[in-house]
Amino acid sequence: MRKVIMGNHSLSYGALLSRVQVISAYPITPQTQVVELLSEMCASGELKAKFINVESEHSAMAALIGASAAGARTFSATSAHGLTLMHELLHWAAGARLPIVLGNINRAMAPGWTIWADQTDSLSQRDTGWIQFYCSSNQEVLDTIIQAFKISEKVLLPSMIVLDAFFLSHTYEPVDIPDQVVVDEYLPPYKPKYVLDTKDPHTFGGITSPEYYYEIRYKMEMGMRESVEVIKQAGKEYGELFGREYGLIEDYRCEDAEIIFITSGTAASTAKVVVDELREEGKKVGNLKIRVFRPFPFKELRRIIEHAKKVAVIDRNISFGHHGIFAQEVKSALYNHSNIPVFGFVAGLGGRDINPQTIKEIYHITESNEYPSEKVFWIGVKK
């Protein structure tokens, strides 16, 4: 069924089709419609799930940790301050190896108060042990939720599906809503091996000495590494059933590209348009979209860009005192592998537009300099 829906409702439909069993949420702009629609679905009986109206995002994640440990498939959505209030429990969910799926609408952090797009909220959570997907269209949001449950339940790590505030969360696009029967075939019910069960009692998350903790963390890292192949497989199987295949990255006209943009989120869609325009001018340019940020797609990224002369990383985020975060990650992926110059650009913070003109400016800076003259270029700062 094809339907014109907003990005936020793509999350809700994704959760519905995944047959989530416990939802726990607290409202925050621009996330609210995600859980409003889910609460309606629960109230009407369309979705057979428990909806817990908690008093904070910290409690939303705590409730999901309890529910997931007790064997339910769980979902929530949040944004910015809500996500950062969850921070402690994001560590807990991953450390407890619980396959919770969370939608996060990328919104900038205050002060000043703002509700507009910026990736600093979710990128601040990069070391919590969550798999992170950055989506560029409402279709991708819906499809990724369903895949995320499959992936998380296989590798026992939680997943965060990230989309830009307003550029996607409030934008209506035609979305193919898959048939429930086929989704059920793709995503069987969650059956955890270890669960809170009074017939087979175990203690979870107890005090752990240096003798064991280190190995527990090693196993988490192994789970994260294993997820690389699991994500690819889940994306491929999804393609076979629904006609839309997904991978860790998405390369667009990169085969012979001399300059490659590296983008994520909605900026990736804009960059593709700019690539087409520049190609018409005879410029050899391509776009590489990073869909999966954790685990970071080292191998796939190197394979695509090793033939290019320069890369331009566009970051809607900043790690103060350093770079945009994607630029850091790309540099670390290339270190000891390639001497290709990496141009880092910060743009679009706090909802400032990253429009075709912004990306063309980025192209011209990259094209006209042999090496980056600045550690990071801030695009469009008002003087």
Partner 1 sequence: MRLSIPEQELMTPGHLACQGCGATLAMRYTLKALGNDTILTFPACCWSVIDGPFPYTSLKVPLLHMAFEATGATASGIKAALEIKGNTETTVVGWAGDGGTFDIGLQALSGAAERNEDFIYICYDNEAYMNTGIQRSGATPWGAWTATTPVENFNSIFKKNIEEILAAHRIPYVATASVAYPEDLVKKIKKAKGIKGFRFIHIFAPCPPGWKTRSEDTVKLARLAVQTTVFPLYEIENSEKYTINIVIKKRKPVNEYLELQGRFKHLKEEHINFIQENIDKNWEKLLKKAGLI
Q: Contact positions toward partner 1, by CB under 8 A?
A: 21-22, 24, 48-50, 52-56, 58-60, 62-72, 74, 88-89, 92, 196-198, 200-209, 212
Which of 72/362 has CB closer to partner 1? 72
Which of 111/201 has CB closer to partner 1? 201
Q: How far is the CB of 68 from partner 1 (least distance, A)?
A: 7
CB 261 within 8 A of CB 272: no
Q: How far is the CB of 368 from partner 1 (least distance, A)?
A: 52
Q: How far is the CB of 316 from partner 1 (least distance, A)?
A: 31
Which of 206/321 has CB closer to partner 1? 206
Instruction: Report the alpha-carbon distance of residue 92 to residue 263 in Å, rounded.
Output: 30
Which of 109/196 has CB closer to partner 1? 196
Q: Which residues contact 153 (CB under 8 A, 6 or more apart)?
A: 73, 99, 190, 192
Q: How far is the CB of 47 from partner 1 (least distance, A)?
A: 11
Which of 53/332 has CB closer to partner 1? 53
Question: Could you give the angle at the alpha carbon of 338 between the alpha carbons of 335 and 339, nearest 5°?
Answer: 95
Kind and range of the H or E element at 164? strand 159-164
Pairing of strands 292-294, 131-134: antiparallel
Q: How far is the CB of 183 from partner 1 (least distance, A)?
A: 19
What is the DSSP code (8-state) at residue 290? E
Which of 53/373 has CB closer to partner 1? 53
Instruction: Report the alpha-carbon distance of residue 199 to residue 357 in Å, rounded.
Output: 63
Q: How far is the CB of 234 from partner 1 (least distance, A)?
A: 24
How far, rounded to the nearest angstrom, does the alpha carbon of residue 25 sit from its chain's CA centroid? 19
CB 122 within 8 A of CB 109: no
Which of 180/332 has CB closer to partner 1? 180
Nearest to 77 by CA among 8, 140, 146: 8
Q: Which amino acid is at 6?
A: M
Q: Which pair of tokens denotes residue 285?
A: 């340019």
What is the DSSP code (8-state) at residue 127? G
Q: How far is the CB of 72 from partner 1 (least distance, A)?
A: 4
